[in-house]
């Protein structure tokens, strides 16, 4: 200690008030950030599992139907359990990442420090990825802008159509920029999705590990190592699930002809919206069959098995 | 002290120097004779004996701190070849094995204000110790008698924590601890844990938690765990961070419902 040098101290600036109200609020924000991350991570886990059913177009359509059967409640569920936690997590995460930290994984290349840095890097990657993902695949993204403005530039851009789940997902991920899958912009889309899935899985698994320390669940080095192994296993499982989901709609994805968005006499809002119109609902099996290239008969049987009116 | 006549080899040293707390830093290079037992402090002492740079200029000897010469005081902590360590226990032989053929770079710690050359002002650590009441109340105007007993198990946990020499290595390596923020850092979390465990320190545990959960407290830990890797005294710093995290969870619930 150089307490004798206190007279020359250059850091004797404003003494921080360590027990300030600001600090207490910060403490709670940090803990809420952790909980929000757990909630959103749970959604991502379910999301990846559902999308891994994309291996089978019919199964995937059934899963999508289950979700959209929530009807008007879907928006409430999405906002409360997905978008609100995401917003809190992102806002605080950006603040914490930018709050004067000095990354030093080059000089101190320990595993923990590399993970610390990756957690922040994947967070930033995910911010870009999620912006693109939501804009192009969520009905509150470009689709909503199109519905409100009827902007011609968006009219040919593919987005997710729940009644043609498989084919529209392939279209929106593998070939959003023209039918040639080897076009550079299409390749970027496909690569961005793989990067996004892996970044999400890492961020989720590593976040589980650090959350346990933040809340004081794991204290000793051996407990942290043990829980670390569990998180690693969770990460590996979801990396596999996520990669299957990605492959289903990209390298294994087979594009199928999609009806034009206005083909069946309904506006895009009705088609994509959470509310099923009765005539459209009756038309679904045939339209679905059209989209993933199976016989209409199989589609009708599938819909019947799922307890849907045909 | 190594006599130049005895040595057969020499090594190049690049030192980041700074004349005053507010002036710009600049690099100077020295060629220093070495022996198999040389450590960085001995090299600095050799340079002080004959402060001539490798291009033959006579300069003021680099200012540095050194006291115990056996890694228990922490005063000679500096950044050597990009990593924080004590100059006295850093053997030149090991550094040469780490990066063969390249010169040794020596910089002052980057997280504390430089006073001159390799001497930094670490009073922030001392101020933080005062903030968390890193002491136990002892006799006042009269003798309080013998204190409560500490079990061998408690002592087994507490002794490693008590080895902290406030060298600042944990803070230097921490990506969350910067010169312009208020982060308390691993040293403080570990010392707070130590005094919260001490039977005579317990009465101040809640006051410590208020500080640890405030601005720059446990909230700002990013779990890079560099602290425990660079700690020269092998203090289980990350375990202390976990303990403080747990105490904060319990204390925040207690405070929310009953304070």
Are B210 and A100 within 8 A, CB to CB?
no
- Under the banding of pLDDT at 50, 70 and 90, the label for residue A297 is very low
Domain, as residue range, for B188: 123-258
Report the number of distinct structural domains present in chain B.
2
Q: How far is CA B92 from CA B11, B46, B215, in A?
A: 9, 13, 41
B67: nearest CA partner in chain A: A1
Q: Which of B6-10, B27-31, B70-74 has the lowest mean pLDDT?
A: B6-10
A308 touching B (Cβ < 8 Å):
no
Q: Which CATH number goes with the domain that contains B36? A: 3.10.20.30
Structural domains of chain A, count:
1
Tokens in use for A45?
């886990």
Q: What is the pLDDT of residue A275?
A: 36
- pLDDT > 90? residue B73: yes
Mean pLDDT value of segment A185-207: 97
- What is the Cα–Cα distance from B106 to B27, expressed in whole angstroms? 9
Range of the domain at A93: 27-98+108-305
Min CA distance, B123 vs chain A (Å)? 6
Which tens digit of pLDDT belongs to each residue from A92-133? 999 988 876 789 999 999 999 999 999 999 999 999 999 999
A258-277 average pLDDT score? 48
pLDDT of residue A232: 98
What does DSSP assign to residue B91?
A: B
Q: Over 70: is that where the pLDDT of A19 sits?
A: no
A-facing residues of B in 177-236 (CB < 8 A) are 178-182, 184, 210-211, 213-226, 228-230, 236
pLDDT: is A292 or B153 the higher one? B153
B145 and B83 within one domain: no
Query: Does some domain include residue A16?
Result: no
Q: Is the pLDDT of residue B77 over 50?
A: yes
A157: pLDDT strictly greater than 50:
yes
Tens-digit pLDDT profile for residues B119-135: 999 999 999 999 999 99
Average pLDDT of the segment spanning A198-203: 98
pLDDT reported for residue A17: 59
| Residue B149 shares a structural domain with residue B116 | no
What is the pLDDT, as a whole number, of residue B93? 93
Residues 154-193 of A with CB under 8 A from B: none
Contact A112/B248, CB-based, under 8 Å? no
Cross-chain Cβ contact A116/B225 below 8 Å = yes
Side-chain-facing half-sphere of A283: CA atoms under 13 Å? 16
CATH classification of the domain holding B134: 1.10.1060.10
pLDDT of residue A18: 59
Which residues of A fall within a CB distance of 8 Å from B176? Answer: 101
B190 lies in the same domain as B108: no
Domain annotation covers residue B2: no
Q: Are B224 and B185 in contact (CB under 8 A)?
A: no
Q: Does A95 touch chain B (CB under 8 A)?
A: no
- Clarify whether residues B66 and B40 are in a common domain: yes
Give the gap in angstroms from C-alpha B233 to the nearest C-alpha of chain A. 16
Give how far B65 is from chain A: nearest CA, Å. Answer: 10
Mean pLDDT to the nearest integer, A209-236: 97
Which B residues in the span 14-73 are in contact with A, Cβ-Cβ below 8 Å? 21-22, 65
Distance from CA of B30 to the nearest CA of A (A): 23
Give the H/E segment covering residue B26.
Answer: strand B26-34
- Among B120, B143, B166, which residue terminates a domain? B120
Query: For B229, which of A2, A15, A110 is closest by C-beta distance?
Result: A110
Q: Please indicate, yes or no, if residue A310 is contained in any of the structural domains.
A: no
pLDDT at B48: 95
Percentage of chain B beyond pLDDT 90 is 83
- Does B93 lie in the same domain as B129? no
Q: Is B4 inside a domain boundary?
A: no
Q: Predicted ipTM? A: 0.90
DSSP letter, residue B25: P
Cα A12 to Cα B127: distance, rounded to the nearest angstrom: 10
The model's confidence at residue A31, banded by pLDDT at 50, 70 and 90, is very high
At residue B145 the predicted structure's pLDDT band, cuts being 50, 70 and 90, is confident
Question: Of B215, B228, B242, which is closest to A20 when you measure between CB atoms?
Answer: B215
Average pLDDT of span A304-310: 44
Report residue A163's pLDDT band, with 50, 70 and 90 as the boundaries. confident
Nearest chain B residue to A33 by CA distance is B219
The CATH number of the domain where A51 resides is what? 1.20.1300.10
pLDDT of residue B1: 52
Higher pLDDT, A15 or B70: B70
Contact B225/A110, CB-based, under 8 Å? yes
Which residue has 């200690």 as its token pair?
A1
Q: What is the pLDDT of residue A16?
A: 57
Is A7 a domain residue?
Answer: no
What is chain A's Cα-based Rg? Answer: 24
CA distance A213 to chain B (A): 5
Distance CA B179, CA B237 (A): 21
Selected residues 66-125 of chain B with any CB under 8 Å from a CB in chain A:
74-75, 82-83, 112-113, 115, 119-125
How does pLDDT run across B223-248, given as a tens digit for each residue? 999 999 999 999 999 999 999 999 99
* B119–A110 C-beta distance less than 8 A: no
Residue-wise DSSP of B108-159: --SSS-EEETTEE--HHHHHHHHHTT-S-----SS---SPPP--HHHHHHHH
Give first-to-last CA distance, chain B, whole Å.
Answer: 62
- Alpha-carbon torsion A269, A270, A272, A275, what sign? positive
The average confidence (pLDDT) of chain A is 81
């Amino acid at each position: 200690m150089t307490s004798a040098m206190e007279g020359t101290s250059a850091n004797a600036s404003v003494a921080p008030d360590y027990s300030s109200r600001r600090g207490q609020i910060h403490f709670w924000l940090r803990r809420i950030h952790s909980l929000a991350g757990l909630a959103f991570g749970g959604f991502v886990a379910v999301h990846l599992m559902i999308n891994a059913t994309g291996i089978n177009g019919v199964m995937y359509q059934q899963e999508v139907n289950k979700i959209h059967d929530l009807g008007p409640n879907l928006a409430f569920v999405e906002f409360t359990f997905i978008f609100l936690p995401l917003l809190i997590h992102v806002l605080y995460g950006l603040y914490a990442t930018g709050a004067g930290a000095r990354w030093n994984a080059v000089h101190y290349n320990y595993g923990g420090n590399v993970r610390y840095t990756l957690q922040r890097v994947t967070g930033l990657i995910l911010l870009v990825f999620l912006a693109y993902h939501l804009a192009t695949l969520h009905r509150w993204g470009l689709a909503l802008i199109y519905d409100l403005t009827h902007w011609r530039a968006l009219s040919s851009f593919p987005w997710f159509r729940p009644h043609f789940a498989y084919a529209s997902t392939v279209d929106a991920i593998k070939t959003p920029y023209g039918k040639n899958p080897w076009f550079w912009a299409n390749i970027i889309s496909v690569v961005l999705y793989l990067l996004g899935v892996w970044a999400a899985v890492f961020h989720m698994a590593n976040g589980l590990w650090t959350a346990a320390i933040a809340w004081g669940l794991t204290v000793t080095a051996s407990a942290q190592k043990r829980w670390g192994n569990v998180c690693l296993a969770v990460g590996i499982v979801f990396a596999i699930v996520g990669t299957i989901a990605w492959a289903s709609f990209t390298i294994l994805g087979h594009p199928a002809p999609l009806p034009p968005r206005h083909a069946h006499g309904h506006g895009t809002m009705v088609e994509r919206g959470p509310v099923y119109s009765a005539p459209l609902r009756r038309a679904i099996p045939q339209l679905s069959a059209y989209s993933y290239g199976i016989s209409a008969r199989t589609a009708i049987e599938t819909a019947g098995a799922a307890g849907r009116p045909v | 002290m190594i006599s130049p006549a005895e040595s057969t080899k020499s090594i190049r040293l690049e030192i980041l120097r700074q004349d005053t707390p507010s002036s710009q830093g600049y690099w100077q290079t020295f060629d220093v004779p070495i022996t198999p037992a040389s450590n960085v402090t001995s090299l600095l002492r050799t340079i002080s004996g004959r402060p001539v740079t490798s291009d033959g200029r006579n300069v003021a000897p680099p200012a540095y701190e050194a006291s115990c010469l056996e890694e228990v005081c922490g005063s000679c902590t500096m950044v050597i070849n990009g990593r924080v360590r004590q100059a006295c226990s850093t053997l030149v032989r090991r550094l040469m094995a780490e990066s063969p053929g390249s010169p040794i770079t020596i910089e002052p710690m980057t997280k504390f204000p430089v006073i001159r050359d390799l001497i930094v002002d670490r009073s922030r650590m001392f101020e933080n110790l005062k903030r968390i009441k890193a002491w136990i109340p002892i006799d006042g105007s009269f003798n309080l008698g013998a204190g409560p007993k500490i079990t061998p198990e408690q002592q087994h946990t507490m002794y490693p924590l008590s080895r902290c020499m406030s060298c600042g290595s944990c803070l230097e390596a921490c990506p969350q601890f910067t010169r312009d923020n208020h982060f308390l850092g691993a040293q403080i979390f570990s010392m707070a844990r130590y005094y919260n465990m001490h039977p005579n320190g317990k009465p101040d545990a809640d006051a410590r938690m208020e500080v640890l959960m405030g601005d720059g407290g446990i909230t700002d830990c990013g779990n890079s765990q560099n602290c425990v890797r660079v700690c020269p005294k092998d203090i289980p710093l990350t375990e202390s961070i976990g303990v403080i995290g747990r105490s904060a969870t319990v204390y925040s619930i207690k405070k929310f419902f009953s304070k």
